[in-house]
């Protein structure tokens, strides 16, 4: 059940300036949340940002009662999170949205995870789930440059398979888009039972052109600006193929690419 | 003393004056994890049209200082699906349901209202003549007193239910619009809908919302809305009003009651804090109990010179 939780900041890990993780004490949410779900975070006592922001839950530890988010500083709210002293409190509305599906895959199956920049956010929990289910996973992480790829530190020891880095400038890993790195492997005959992806819309659009012809079943963790996070405001719609609009927060955020009108 | 929170607005009696505004509360069912729908005074549904409506292309919303712009474009499931799928669940929750209705043309409004006539469990109908985010209908009716008068008269003839008309703050003369709606048969006036606004991304010089303009809501508009409620209450004494505009706290509720609203609708705050309406009912209950007063006694106090509530020894200042 969704609820509005009070959460206390207990830990912050900086990967590079403007790229960090925050961990909150929030036991009820930690127990309830599934990989791929998100929470609407409110930094209290601020007129701006006025609305909450949606953040994918990066990982949750039910035993310790903590939830973690991976964040990139882009505006007032994220800047506040970057500077917020430990023991500060925020409000977390969640868990929201649907989750990645893993349970139906047979043990030993191989999956791909494709992340563009801060799109890596929902994958620590998914990777742990994948390892626990006895699957293997190749993790494709793309970014503009080495700084954007600094978030890879969060995935050390988590990937039951190969980690493939790609940067636009070639400073780290393969040069070019992460979608191209994936396409090269598919072209060389690598097969995956499922692909999970999260990143900016242009990455999704490019990825849809790769997974479609390859008939690779895919789950995209979509992002659209959300007003509420639970299907009331209808602000976060994405054009669909089966109907005019998909409500990203309540019908997603995990959507299969063939349902999206690219 | 009867229930201190109960309010009567013409033919409509509500358990308490805290309602939720159309377009900010979905069909109510999205909120059942956060609010006991039976505990609030009522909920106004997403604007219903005759046929399902897809709404505008994204982006549809944009945050602004202390509020937001939206141009959802009245996406809704249509009146038929509302009655068959949503209404039975709302009734099971014990909700007091106010059906918000819109159309492109006069006859569309009448047809939707007729379609609701046979349904049980609707306490009142609210006419949306003030949506700024559709190309036809909506605000066009609300911004012209003669069109308002003609539309309200037609709908009045089509329903026996309490009729609320939701006014546009973008009308050239809000008092004239209010008068036209009332004289044509509105039982209650709700005010205000959103203010037409615009936000442009400086880097691209393009509007942030695909529709171009959007409706501004949230605490940013509260003083404007309070002024408008005060104005209409003064010009049309005795006409029951529902106040809307940036309400998020108990003090905001008290402000609108003082300005002359008998009930209020919580809007944008529902997005940020989905439990806010239920909490306001509790806070208002405590407020009235502590001061041994009733909501009815709090209505219109600003028109009577104000003064402290309760006055009895022990009452808080």
pLDDT in tens, B237-248: 999 999 999 999
A207 with A120, same domain? Answer: yes
Q: Which residues of B touch A234 (CB under 8 A)?
A: 26, 46, 55, 60, 72, 75
Does residue B151 belong to any structural domain of this protein? yes
Does residue A248 belong to any structural domain of this protein? no
Asked if B60 and A1 come within 8 Å (Cβ–Cβ), the reply is no
pLDDT at B83: 98
Residue in A46, A75, A92, A237 to test binding to B, most B beta-carbons within 10 Å: A237
Residue B288 falls in the annotated catalytic set: no
Does residue A169 belong to any structural domain of this protein? yes
Does residue A104 belong to any structural domain of this protein? no
Residue B271: φ, ψ to 5°: -70, -40
Does residue A232 belong to any structural domain of this protein? no
**How many angstroms separate the CA atoms of A228 and A245, rounded?**
17
A69 with A145, same domain? Answer: no
**Tally of domains within chain A:** 2
pLDDT of B157 above 90:
yes
User: Can you give the CATH number for the domain in which B254 is found?
Assistant: 3.20.20.70
pLDDT of B97 above 70:
yes
Residue range A103-116: mean pLDDT, rounded = 97
Q: Which residues of A touch B57 (CB under 8 A)?
A: 239
A69 with A118, same domain? Answer: no
Asked if B272 and A42 come within 8 Å (Cβ–Cβ), the reply is yes
pLDDT at B314: 40
Does residue B234 belong to any structural domain of this protein? yes
H/E segment holding residue B133: none
**Tally of domains within chain B:** 1
pLDDT at B177: 97
Does residue A38 belong to any structural domain of this protein? yes
In tens, the pLDDT along B166-205 reads: 999 999 999 999 999 999 999 999 999 999 999 999 999 9
pLDDT of B56 above 90:
yes
Does residue A166 belong to any structural domain of this protein? yes
pLDDT at A174: 97
Does residue B316 belong to any structural domain of this protein? no
pLDDT at B317: 38
Provide the pLDDT confidence category of residue B300 given band limits of 50, 70 and 90: very high
pLDDT at B306: 87
pLDDT at B315: 40
**How many angstroms separate the CA atoms of B172 and A10, rounded?**
53
- Burial status of residue B24 (CB atoms within 10 A of its CB: 0-12, 13-18, 19 or more): buried
pLDDT of A9 above 60:
yes
pLDDT at B311: 52
Residue range B142-162: mean pLDDT, rounded = 95
Does residue B311 belong to any structural domain of this protein? no
Which of B217, B216, B301 minimizes the C-alpha distance to B253? B301
* Average pLDDT score over chain B: 95
Tokens coding B252:
């905001």
**Cβ distance B97 to B20 under 8 Å?**
no
Closest residue to B68, CB basis, from A50, A224, A232: A50
User: Can you give the CATH number for the domain in which A191 is found?
Assistant: 3.40.50.80
A73 with A142, same domain? Answer: no
Asked if B272 and A239 come within 8 Å (Cβ–Cβ), the reply is no
Per DSSP, the three-state class of A11 is strand
Closest residue to B24, CB basis, from A1, A4, A233: A233
In tens, the pLDDT along A40-59 reads: 999 876 667 889 999 999 99
pLDDT at A46: 66
Does residue B225 belong to any structural domain of this protein? yes
Provide the pLDDT confidence category of residue B21 given band limits of 50, 70 and 90: very high
* Average pLDDT score over chain A: 96
Does residue A11 belong to any structural domain of this protein? yes
A203 with A145, same domain? Answer: yes
CA B191 to chain centre: 7
**How many angstroms separate the CA atoms of B98 and A127, rounded?**
47
Closest residue to A232, CB basis, from B24, B57, B68: B24
**Residue where a domain stops, chosen among A71, A96, A121:** A96
Does residue B309 belong to any structural domain of this protein? no
A167 with A87, same domain? Answer: no
pLDDT at A3: 96
Does residue B13 belong to any structural domain of this protein? yes
A120 with A91, same domain? Answer: no
Q: Which is catalytic among the residues B44, B62, B93, B131?
A: B131
User: Can you give the CATH number for the domain in which A89 is found?
Assistant: 2.40.30.10
Residue B311 makes CB contacts below 8 A (sequence gap 6+) with none
A123 with A212, same domain? Answer: yes
pLDDT at B93: 98
pLDDT of B1 above 90:
no
Provide the pLDDT confidence category of residue B133 given band limits of 50, 70 and 90: confident
Does residue A103 belong to any structural domain of this protein? no
Residue range A82-104: mean pLDDT, rounded = 96
Supply the DSSP symbol for A240: B
Residue corresponding to tokens 């006409």: B239
Domain that holds residue A81: 3-96
Domain that holds residue B234: 7-304
pLDDT at B180: 98
A208 with A179, same domain? Answer: yes
Query: Which range (A137-151, A170-184, B57-71, B302-316) has the least confidence?
Result: B302-316
pLDDT of B136 above 90:
no
């Amino acid at each position: 059940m969704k609820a509005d939780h009070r959460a206390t900041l207990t830990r912050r890990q900086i990967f590079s300036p403007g790229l960090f993780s925050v961990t909150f004490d929030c036991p009820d949410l930690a127990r309830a949340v599934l990989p791929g779900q998100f929470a609407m975070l409110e930094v209290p006592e601020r007129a701006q940002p006025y609305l909450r922001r949606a953040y994918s839950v990066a990982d949750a530890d039910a035993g310790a009662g903590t939830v973690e988010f991976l964040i990139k500083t882009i505006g007032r709210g994220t800047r506040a999170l970057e500077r917020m002293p430990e023991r500060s409190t925020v409000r977390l509305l969640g868990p929201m949205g649907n989750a990645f599906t893993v349970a139906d895959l047979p043990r030993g199956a191989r999956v791909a995870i494709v992340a563009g920049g801060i799109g890596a956010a929902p994958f620590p929990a998914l990777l742990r789930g994948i390892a626990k289910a006895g699957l293997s996973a190749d993790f494709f992480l793309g970014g503009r440059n080495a700084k954007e790829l600094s978030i890879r530190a969060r995935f050390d020891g988590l990937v039951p398979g190969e980690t493939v880095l790609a940067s636009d400038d070639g400073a780290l890993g393969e040069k070019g888009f992460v979608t191209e790195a994936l396409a090269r492997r598919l072209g060389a005959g690598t097969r995956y039972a499922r692909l999970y992806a999260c990143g900016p819309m242009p990455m999704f659009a490019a990825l849809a052109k790769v997974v479609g012809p390859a008939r690779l079943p895919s789950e995209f963790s979509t992002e659209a600006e959300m007003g509420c996070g639970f299907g009331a405001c209808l602000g976060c719609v994405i054009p669909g193929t089966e109907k005019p609009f998909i409500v990203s927060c309540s019908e997603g955020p995990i959507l299969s690419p063939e349902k999206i009108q690219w | 003393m009867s229930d201190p929170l109960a309010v009567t607005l013409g033919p409509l009696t509500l358990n308490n004056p805290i309602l939720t505004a159309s377009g900010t509360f979905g069909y109510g069912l999205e909120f059942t994890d956060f609010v006991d729908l039976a505990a609030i005074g009522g909920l106004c549904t997403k604007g219903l049209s005759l046929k399902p409506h897809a709404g505008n292309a994204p982006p549809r919303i944009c945050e602004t200082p202390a509020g937001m712009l939206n141009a959802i474009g009245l996406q809704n499931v249509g009146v038929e699906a509302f009655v068959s799928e949503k209404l039975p669940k709302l009734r099971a929750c014990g909700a007091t349901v106010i059906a918000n209705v819109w159309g492109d043309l006069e006859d569309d409004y009448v047809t939707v209202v007729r379609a609701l006539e046979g349904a049980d469990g609707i306490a009142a109908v609210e006419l949306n003549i003030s949506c700024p985010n559709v190309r036809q209908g909506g605000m066009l009716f609300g911004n012209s007193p003669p069109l308002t008068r003609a539309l309200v008269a037609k709908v009045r003839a089509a329903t026996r239910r309490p009729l609320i008309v939701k006014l546009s703050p973008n009308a050239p003369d809000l008092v004239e619009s209010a008068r036209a709606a009332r004289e044509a048969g509105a039982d209650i006036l709700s005010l205000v809908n959103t203010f037409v606004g615009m936000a442009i991304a400086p880097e691209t010089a393009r509007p942030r919302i695909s529709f171009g303009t959007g409706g501004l809501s949230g605490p940013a508009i509260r003083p404007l809305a309070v002024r408008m409620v005060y104005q209409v209450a003064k010009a049309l004494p005795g006409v029951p009003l529902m106040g809307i505009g940036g309400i998020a706290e108990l003090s905001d509720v008290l402000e609108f009651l003082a300005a002359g609203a008998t009930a209020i609708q919580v809007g944008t705050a529902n997005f940020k804090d989905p439990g806010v309406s239920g909490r306001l009912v509790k806070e208002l209950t405590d407020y009235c109990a502590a001061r041994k007063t009733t909501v009815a006694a709090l209505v219109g106090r600003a028109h009577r010179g104000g003064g402290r509530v309760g006055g009895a020894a022990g009452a808080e200042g």
